[in-house]
Each structure stands twice: as structure tokens, then as C-alpha cells.
Structure 1
Amino acid sequence: MIFASPLEHRFGIQACLLGGDILLSLSFVSVYFIIDEPLALALIFGGLHGASAGIVYALTVKLLLQTMTTRGGLATGIMSAGFTIGTGLFIGAAFAVINPMNKKPDLKVENKVYFSDKDLLNRVPIFFLLMGFMTMVTNFSGTAFMYIGSRNVLPKDKIETSVDNGEQIPSQLSSHDAAGQIFTPDEMQEEVPLMVSGAQSYDNYGHDKIVKDEICKSNLSLNGSLNTEETPKNGRPQGCVDRDTCLNSELSSRDVLKTARFWLVWIAFVTSNHTFFIYLTLYKEYGEQKISDDSMLVTTGIISSIGTIIVCPLVGMASDTIGIRCTNVIFNGGSCLFMALMVIALHTCPWVYMVLVVVESMGVSPHTMLFSLLAANEFGKTNVASNMGLIRSGNIPLVLLEPIIAQALIPREKRRNNRSTYPHGSEADEKPVLLAIGDLQFALPARLKLVSRFSYSSTVMILMKSKKAEMNPQIPLPYLDWELPNKQKAYNEWKDFMTSYLTLNKINEEYQWNFIMLSAGPKGRDLLIASDITSEHKKTADNCLSIFRYHLIEKPNKRVGRIELQSYLQKETESVKEFMLGLKAKAEKSDFDSTTIKEERLTEQIIKGCKYSEQKKKLLNKVRLTMQQAIEVCKTYEATVKSLS
């Protein structure tokens, strides 16, 4: 954004807008090809996207202010409201392309929920490709409308120049002239003062008046003719002060940095934008200290986002009426006041807190727009794009200080307490639902929600918020009974319960060992540490459970186990189901090398040990017989016998 004005003066505002639109679209399309390379994604997507968005936004604001000199605030407000509308469109596209079946996140890490579905992951690059084309269509359409709206502007090559103090100064004003005015060919025939500063061009716009005596009363007309009424001895037209004073409101970025006014504006931006950062980062997490209903907070956020569509044009109209300085003071002061009331209301009346959240959202959302208008008012519209970039550099210290601020407002202990109020940490943070692609993570929808951020990067990377893990609070975490005398029974019961718990809660295999360690308690943790378990060994629950099996129970003699398996026969009072449970218990002690060998031995023992002679013959006559088929044959015959008896 800082380099937007030099590029505009070099290539023209329309060429820069077209170039910015192309780069912005390419930044999204590039993700389709580099999504598997995190470093390339950060450099290419981040660089292209940030640079192009800064150019397009800053130059669009300038063009609006130049075209609508008396309604510049309203025009900028309508444009700012468009960001929220665009966010909603992109969220809808993400939901339709990436997650059309409304799948739930299936991977829980700590208290965050992630998507790991492969089909869903494969659709992420397609979404970015589609988003690139959507951006191309919308931005080029907007650029075309802007071109049509300013088609009567005098071409640049028709600008005549004269020399003042050794420098060329345009005598006719173009779309990127010093005063920011746009004239039709008929208006070009009128004689108006050349040296019109940015402050005077805002005279009709409703901003701070300037002293009329500081404006050249006699100077060049638009057609290049020179008014020669009373010229003083020093060669300057009468009533014209020195050149620096005339151009005081049309400062370049380099000159702006040398003024005290810029640093006052910069400090005002940092201090007021602090409220904006705190609101976006912590309003939901702070509210969860007293409000446990997540849906109410989510609904409040949605209403806040919709409210920004209405408030931005109204703020623009206010700046046209009472001036940008007054509007800035009112809204930034009001946002600080309502932020303080939010803190008080949460501890006294939670529903008032939610109302204040909506009001505060309307107060902080026009922040960027207000300071864009203020930059044009204070330093002129000639270099407003670059000056906006300099002012917005105040975001850098805020980004660095935000974690410290958040920690001071909501200590980690309180955050942990907030989470513990939900069973098994089911309540997720106010963070995007992330989708992991290798080492890369993307935000994807778990529950559709508009976000109250207005940058394109937030539209892409922060699509959805507020979700709950698919944990069943009715299923308690089983615990291993270390005090039970029969260690084998204790282990077998715990293993069965733990396996059921992991299955019902859909815990991803990669994180099942964490739940096993929690279930086993301090002794189990010590056992895992002593076993020097590797990350590869942790990946499956069976590997972790085998450690407890071999340490909790005496290591079985596999030969004894196999002899017991071969001699195990079905009792007359024993059902097929009970017979199979006994066989599987013996097979576990036999320590077979593979599951295939184990199932073959069990199939052979079913044939040998089955109490139904007729079924033994039937099973022996089958050429290809699996363990499950043998069990089904025995169960069917058993059911037939029971029904006939």
C-alpha cells in the first residue's frame, strides 16, 4: 500500500487497478498449484495477496474521493460495507464447494477440532481455484464500472503544464492530480485557481476550512492562460503564499513522515485500533467466562456482522455532514466507552453484554474507513494511497503486542477453567476450524458463520468459527483398576471399555494414546515413560495396550497357550457366543505371529470343538472357509435347535 501512489503516478490509476486485480486473482489461483508447499504458499500467496489487496483498496478509495467530491464519505462507506457482503459470498462458496454434505470435524487435538476427511481435503485446492475466478469477475466488473463512471475525464496526454519555481505543475487536472478534482470537457473551459490544496477541495466535502488568504487569488487558468492582475515585485501572483504553504495538504509520503501531524494521526490509529484488535480477538472468549451458551455468542457475532453493512454507509454520511475529524473522535471515543461497558456488563448482566457486543462491532468496524478518509483530509488525495499505508503500519506493533494484551485480560488459568466447564474439553476456542494438509492448515466450515473482519485474507483463511467437538458427554472415561487382585481380568475389562470409548467418540488413531494414558492414571504414565514408547508406536491403540498387557500381566508362554487352545472344546451348556469368547481368550495367550494365522487356528478349533456333530461334517466339506463363516454356520444351527425344542 505504501508504494501504491508512486506506481499510480508512474503508470496511471486505471492501469494500477487492472494490475492489482490481476495479481489478486492470481494469488488465489496460485494456491491450487502450491498448496502442498507451506513455504511457497506463504511467500507467493502472502506476497501477491497482500501487495495486490493494498493497491486495489487504496486506489479505489482515492478514485471514490476524487469522483464524488461532495459525497466521498458515503461512497467509501458503501464500499466498506461491500467487504462484509463479499465475505458472506465467499463463505457460501466455501461451504458449497468444500463441505456440501455438512460433515462434522472428526479430529480433536487438545480442545480444537479439525477436519481430516480426505475427500474434503481434496476439494480445498478447487475452492481456491474457484475463488480466484470469482475474484477476477467481481474485481474486473467493478473496475469496468469505475472506468465508465470516469470516462469523461480529460486524458493524461492533453494536460498542459507551466513552470513555477523551476518545476512542472499541471495546469489542467487529471484523475490523479494534486487537488483530486475530476472535470468534464465543458468544465475545463472555466477558469479556476490552479493551486487548490487538498484541504480546500474538502471545503465542500464538509471538512476543516482553510484560510482563503492562503490560496492563490491570481494564477493559471485551466486552459493555461495566465491572469496577470497585480504581480508583486518578487514575481509571484498577489495573494499567493510560498509554495510549501500552498502544497501543505498535498504531501508526499516522504514529506508526511517529517510532519508532527502525521505522527499524531499514527498514534491515534494505534490507540484506537487497539480496541478493534481486542474486540475481534477476545469478545467471545471473554464472554464465555459468564455465558456458557455458545449459540447465543455465535448469533451475536452474526448480528454484529450484518450490522456493519448498515453502519458503514451511515458513518460515511456523517463524515460528509460534520467532518471527518469529528466523526473519528465520536466513533473512536464511543468504541472505547462501549468496550469499557462490555467489561462491566458481563459481570452484572450478561444479556446486556451481548447487546453491547453488537453496538461495539458497529463502532469498530468503520475504523479503517475513517482513517482512510482522515489521511486524505490531512495530507491530500494526491498520495493518499501511500499515506494510508504509512498510517496502517501501526498494525505491526499491535500484532506483536496482541498476545501479551490477551494474556493480561484473560489469564491462562481462567481460560483453562472456562474449558473445563465443558465435558472432556468439548468446547473449542474462538479460532478457525483448521484443515491439515501435510504441515499446512486451512480454515474450513464446521458451522456457517459470518466473521466481522473486512480483509480479503480473513475472508480466505478465517471462514468459520464456533464449533463443538463430537464428544459424547454421557460416556465416562474408563479407568484401569490397578488394585484389583486379578490383573488379567482388570486388564481385559479395561481394554474392552477403552476400545469402546475410543470408537464411540471417534478419536483419531494418532491421538488415542493420549486418552489411554489419561485412563491409566499416574502409574500408566510412568509405565509408558519407562517403556520408552516411540512416536510410531503411539499411532495405534493396540500398540499402547500391548505395553500394559505385557507389564500388567505376566508374559504368557505361547506354547502353553496354544496347547490350551487346541484342547478347548465347547461345553454342552455353553452357547456358540460363549465358546468363541473362550477361544479368543486362549488365542490371545498363544501370541500368533499374524492375524491371519490366528484366525486359521481359531477356525480349525471351531470345527474341532463344536458340540454339533452334523455341523462339524458340514464345515469340513467346505473348501474355502473363514472364521466368520464358521461362526455363522454354528450360530444358525444353534438358533434352529432352540426354536425346535
Structure 2
Amino acid sequence: MDSGFPGEREVGRISWRRRVRWRGVMVVLGGILMHLTLGTLYTFGNLSPYLTSFMREYGSAPSLTYTQCAWIYALAAIGQGASVSVGGLLERKVGPKLCSLIGGWGMSLGVFLTYFSAKESFGLTILTYGAMFGFFVGLAYAVPLGCAMRWFPQRKGLVNGLVVAGFGGGAFIFDQVQTAFINPDNFKPDKEVDGEKYFDQASVLDRVPTVFLILGGCYSGMQLLAAPLMCNPPGYSSTQPQSQKKESVNHQEGEATTDDDIDSKSPLLDQPDKEEGGVFSSSVPATGDMEKQPSVEDVDDYTLSPRQVLKSRHFYCLWAMFLLNGMGSTFISTLYKAYGQTFIKDDTFLALVGSFAAVFNGAGRIFWGTIADKLSCRVAMLSMSAAFCALILTLSVTSYGGKPLFFIYVCLLFGSFSGSFSIFPTATAKCFGRKYLGVNYGLVFTSQILISPLGVFLSEKLKTLIGWNGLFFFVGAFSLTSFLLAMFAFTAKDKKGKEI
């Protein structure tokens, strides 16, 4: 039978598309698995009371407080913010598989080393479970996002939300692992110093160093399974030699222009929009050889290099909003349990709150990513900032409602701030293209280098002056400012004039 019949070619094309689709699904699943380990950054709020109590009681940091211990989280966030762009560059050099494995195993090594550093000093613990942990998380962080969005360019927000849902959901599993191992008998912290309560039971504290060996083993095993699934779609090339720049025809003047010329005329660089029929058409031809794949630029409105992104005012708007929203995520992630202990005397319940908050953290990323796809990133930003602001300003009412209301509030707070980590990479991809996503999103992520230590410093200094309620209003002011920026300053539009 002649294999060239149109019917047989169509069947072959459908079969090939199904294989490609399933490969893309496996990439997304691998990204979720990798982010489950990277997202254990959010277990710090649950682990902090144990770690702080251990270092106080066993002498490595006798006067350590919860707000001071939050510097570990701050250094992790600084390391992550500093290395996301580095991870994007490393991926282009060594490929997504090796880059994600280097990042994942480097992070796991930091967890292993904390077994020793926690016994020695707070400074060493900041290095291993803070800076080292965060730096390698950042190396691996953007790789699954970039791969997933390259496989599913028309569903950036959804697949982005699915992958980072793993980052948000990692604490659901490992909060319970930590508490079940360290405090299986549900002892309550019964040593009170300056209004804060710490554990002093030897049966609890003796298990603290060992938990880092258990966690590191779990993380490294999961990363070994996830890294081989990371790959780019057929036809994708992360590099393009200068001598092979494609030329496109200027239909109005009949002149050939290079890709750099095209990119430099992007309206995101405050230039006029291209016409509908121009070279930035995002439609993919329905005909052609079924093995031929569209390049990244064929399905993006614009492709801007990092150098060009730094010339766009929309980059600075995204950077500022991400910074402002980061204050809320830093505050809640590190201190929700410490606040809950002021009126709730049940450690197992507080760990359960952290686990379900992680579920909302993960589900929220999918939810907000879907909103960004179906409506716009700007609408999602406005809704997310408004929700978080309203919740944080009224968080103090949970002391009157007890366990049920505290559970609801913490879950909703995690579900609201989580939107930043699906909305902002989606906005970055929609604004500047996916080809340089790892590096460009890394530039946006550098905002966390500033806000994380600032958030911890201000919380530490202001808590004694204005108390918990004052801190809630202080953090709420940051979210309100982000809302105002999204409302009046972020006006990015695609080539059709539609709000991004």
C-alpha cells in the first residue's frame, strides 16, 4: 500500500502528535516531582521551632529567637534569587537534565550538611540550610518551568501553575515527615522566654539533627527520578549562532531585517505595535512536514534577550510588584507557626495547618495561573494582591476564633500569596518570550534578594515595638502598594493590543 496516501499521512501525523503530547505530559510530571523537593523551603516555618529550640538548649545559639532564626530562610531566598538567572544560563550550556540534577543534588547536600552545622553554630547553619540550600534551589528552579512552557506554549499559565504547585505542595508531605519524626508524642513547647515558647524536652531535641539526614535522602532520590524527564520539545534550540540569524521580509518596504532588528521594535520596549500580518504572528501553520517543528519565536508574540528586557519599563514594574508581594510570603512562611503558638497549645495541629496550607499553596498556583491564562496576568495580580491584603489585615481575629479560624486563615493566606510564583513567570513569558525565560525570569526573581532579608530584619526589629497586629498592617501595606502598581502602572499588551 502506498504510504503517501493523504489518509495515511494524516493518521501518522495524529500518532506523532499524541507521542509528542505524552512526552510533554511527562516533562510536566517530572517538573512537579522536582519542585516537590525544591519547595521544601516552605517547611521552614514548621521546622523553625524545633531548630531554634535545639540550638538554644544545646548551646550552639543560646539566645536565638524565632525572628532571628528566620534569617536562615532569608539567606535561602537570597541564594535562590541570585541563582535563578545563573540556572537559566547553565541550562543553555549543559541542557535541562544535567542542570536540574546539579541544582537538586546541591540543595540536598546542603540539607545533609545541616546535620553537622546545627550542632556547631547558627552561622554555619545559615550557610548550609540557608545560602547553600537556596542557591542550588535557584539553579534548578526555572528549568522545569521553561521546559513545560516550551511544550505547551498556549497553556503557559496552566502548566506553569501545575509545576510550581509542586513547589507549594512539598511542605504538605515533609511538614508531616518532620513532625512525625521529631515530635511523635505531640509534646508542646513549655519553656517560655520573653513571651515566646520553646521546646526543652530531650526526646524531641535529640532527633533534630537526624531529621536532616532523612530529608536529604528523600530529596536526592526524588531528584534522581525527576531530572531525566527534563527535556525540550523537538526542534527547539537554546542557542543560535550569530551567522545563522534568520531574515524576515518587511512587507511594506521589501527590506530584509534580522531577528535583533525585529526584537528591538517590540512594543514592550515602548515602540509601536507590529501589524497583525507581520512577522510576529503567533499562529502555527496547519500544513507542512509533520516532523518540522515551529521555532520558539513562531509561537511567541515577542522574543527579547535579557539585555533588551532591561530596557523595558514593564520589567521594572514586574520586578517591583514581585518584590512587594515577597514581603507577605516571607512573613507568613517563617512566622505563621510562631504566631499560632501564642494561643494554640497543640504542636501536631500546627504542623497539620502547615501541611494543608501547603496544599493551598500548590492549588493556588494552578488557580492563579489559570486566571492569568483565561483573563490576564494583570487581573490575576490585582485579585491576588487584594485577597492577601484583606486576609493579613484581619489575621488577628483568629485569636478569637481559635483553631478552626486560624486553620482557615493560614490556608487562604498561603493560597493567595502563592499566585506570585505562577503569575510572574507567566507574565515574564508573555511579555518577553520563552526562549530566554530562565534568564529573564531570574532577573525578575532578583527582587527576592532584597525583600527577604528586609522582611526578616523589619519583623525582628518591629515586633517588640508594634506587636503582631502592627506587623500584620505593615505587611498589608506592601500588598496594597503592589495592587496599586498593577492597577495603574502595569499596562503591557500583546501584538493584538490585548492586555497581557
TM-score (norm 1): 0.45
Does residue 279 of structure 2 align to residue 215 of structure 1?
yes
Aligned to 2:367: 314
Q: How does 1:331-346 map to 2 (within 5 A)?
A: 331-340=384-393, 342=394
CA distance in 1, matches of 2:107, 2:439: 18
Distance 2:177 2:460 in 1: 35
Give 1:432's aligned residue: none
Contact 2:105 2:220 in 1 (8 A): yes
Structure-to-structure mapping, 1:559-638, within 5 angstroms: none
Task: Answer whether contact 1:20 1:53 (CA < 8 A) is retained.
Answer: yes
- The Cα offsets for residues 430-458 of structure 1, whole Å up to 9 and x where unpaired, read as xxxxxxxxxxxxxxxxxxxxxxxxxxxxx
Structure 1 residues 241-390: aligned runs within 5 Å: 249-277=302-330, 279-280=332-333, 298=350, 304-340=357-393, 342=394, 358-390=411-443
Mapped to 2, the partners of 1:160 and 1:353 lie a distance apart of 50
* Equivalent residue in structure 2 for 1:168, among 238, 244, 266: 244
Decide whether the 8 Å contact of 2:300 with 2:430 is kept in 1. Answer: no
Shift of 1:12: 1.8
C-alpha change, 1:66 and 1:303, in structure 2 (3 Å) is: same
CA distance 1:114–1:284, shift in 2 (3 Å): closer
Structure 1: how far apart are the matches of 2:95 and 2:219? Answer: 22
Map of 2:155 onto structure 1: 71
Q: Distance in 2 between matches of 1:52 and 1:126?
A: 22
Quote the Cα distance in structure 2 between the aligned partners of 1:372 and 1:323: 13
Deviations 1:37-88 (A, max 9, x none): 4344433453432221012111111111111222232222222322343213
CA contact (8 A) 1:80 1:366 kept: no
Question: Quick check: 1:282–1:406 contact (8 Å CA) kept in 2?
Answer: no
- DSSP 3-state at the match of 2:102: helix
2:164 maps to 80
Task: Give the 3-state SS of the residue equivalent to 2:119 in structure 1.
Answer: coil
Letter in 2 for 1:314: F
- Quote the offset at 1:2 in angstroms: 2.2
Amino acid at match of 2:96: I
Separation in structure 2 between the aligned mates of residue 275 and residue 40 of structure 1, nearest angstrom: 27
Equivalent residue number for residue 89 of structure 2: 6
Question: Is 1:25–1:132's contact at 8 Å kept on the other side of the alignment?
Answer: yes
Distance 1:416 1:267 in 2: 25
- Output the amino acid matched with 1:327: A
AA of the residue aligned to 1:95 = T
Alpha carbons of 1:170 and 1:140: their partners in 2 closer, same or farther (altered >3 Å)?
farther
Find the partner of 2:216 among 126, 129, 132: 132
Q: Which amino acid aligns with 1:273?
A: G
The structure whose RCO (Cα within 8 Å, separation 6+) is larger is 2
Taking the aligned partners of 2:300 and 2:366, their CA distance within structure 1 comes to: 31
Displacement, 1:34?
4.2
Structure 1 alignment gaps of length 5 or more = 172-193, 199-208, 224-245, 418-645
Further displaced range: 42-51 or 272-281: 272-281
8 Å CA contact 1:269–1:392 kept in 2: the answer is yes
CA displacement at 1:129 relative to structure 2: 1.7
**How far apart in 2 are the matches of 1:104 and 1:216?**
61
Contact 2:309/2:432 (8 A) holds in 1: yes
Change (3 A) 1:416 1:251: closer
Please give the secondary structure, in 2, of the residue aligned with 1:215: coil
Distance 1:113 1:357, change over 3 A: closer
SS, match of residue 212 in structure 1: coil
Alignment CA distance shift 1:4-1:358 (3 Å): closer
CA contact (8 A) 2:395 2:409 kept: no
Opposite residue 153 of structure 1, the aligned amino acid is P
Give the corresponding residue for 1:181.
none
Q: SS state of the match for residue 71, structure 1?
A: helix
Change (3 A) 1:360 1:47: closer
Matches of 1:160 and 1:384, distance apart in 2: 13
Task: Kindly state the Cα deviation for residue 170 of structure 1 after the two structures are TM-superposed.
Answer: 7.6
User: Where do residues 32-71 of structure 1 align in structure 2 (5 Å cutoff)?
Assistant: 32-38=115-121, 39-71=123-155
Cα RMSD (Å): 4.6
Query: C-alpha separation between the residues in 1 aligned to 2:409 and 2:118?
Result: 40
Identity of aligned residues (%): 22
Q: Contact (CA 8 Å) 2:89, 2:438: kept in 1 or not?
A: no
* TM-score, length-scaled by structure 2: 0.57
Distance apart, 1:278 and its partner CA: 5.0
Deviation of the 1:8 alpha carbon: 1.6
The answer to whether the 8 Å contact 1:195/1:215 transfers is no
Measured after TM superposition, the shift of residue 338 of structure 1 is 4.5
8 A Cα contact 1:28 1:131, kept in partner: yes
> Counterpart amino acid of 1:67?
W
Aligned partners of 1:381, 1:416: CA distance in 2, in Å? 42
Taking a change above 3 Å as real, the CA distance of residues 347 and 326 of structure 1, as seen in their structure-2 partners, is same
Amino acid at match of 2:381: N
Structure-to-structure mapping, 1:552-563, within 5 angstroms: none
Q: CA deviation at 1:248?
A: 9.0
Query: In structure 1, how many angstroms separate the alpha carbons of the residues matched to 2:398 and 2:125?
Result: 41
Whether contact under 8 Å (2:188, 2:345) holds in the other structure is no
- Cα distance in 2, alignment partners of residues 302 and 15 from structure 1: 31
**2:98 maps to what in 1?**
15
Aligned residues: 351
* In structure 2, C-alpha distance between the alignment counterparts of 1:120 and 1:344, rounded to whole Å: 30
- The reply to whether residue 398 of structure 1 matches residue 451 of structure 2 is yes
How big is the shift at 1:286?
7.8
1:2 aligns to what SS in structure 2?
Answer: helix
Residues 1:213 and 1:276: Cα distance change in structure 2 (over 3 Å): same
The 3 A distance-change label for structure 1 pair 109 and 332 is closer
How much does 1:304 deviate?
4.1
**Corresponding position: 1:412 with 2:469:** no
The aligned residue for residue 153 of structure 1 is 234
Q: CA deviation at 1:269?
A: 1.7
Residues 484-563 of structure 1 aligned to structure 2 (within 5 Å): none
Contact persistence 1:195–1:216 (CA under 8 A):
no
Kept in 2: contact 1:307–1:362 (CA 8 A) = yes
Alignment deviations for residues 459-510 of structure 1 (CA, whole Å, 9 cap, x no partner): xxxxxxxxxxxxxxxxxxxxxxxxxxxxxxxxxxxxxxxxxxxxxxxxxxxx
Whichever structure has more helix as a proportion of its residues is 2
**Rg (Cα) greater in structure:** 1
1:469 corresponds to: none
Cα distance per residue 1:74-124 (max 9 Å; x no partner): 222222322343213222322343334445546544433434455654433
Give ranges in structure 2 of 5+ residues lacking alignment. Answer: 1-83, 248-257, 264-272, 290-298, 471-500
Q: 1:107 & 1:139 partners in 2: Cα distance?
A: 38
What is the rounded CA distance, in whole Å, between the counterparts of 2:440 and 2:150 in structure 1? 16
1:23 touches 1:49 (CA, 8 Å); kept in 2? yes
1: CA distance, partners of 2:432 / 2:142 = 14
Q: Tell me the alpha carbon deviations over residues 598-619 of structure 1, each in whole angstroms, 9 at most, x when there is no partner.
A: xxxxxxxxxxxxxxxxxxxxxx
Structure 1 44/169 Cα, relative in aligned 2: closer, same or farther at 3 Å? farther
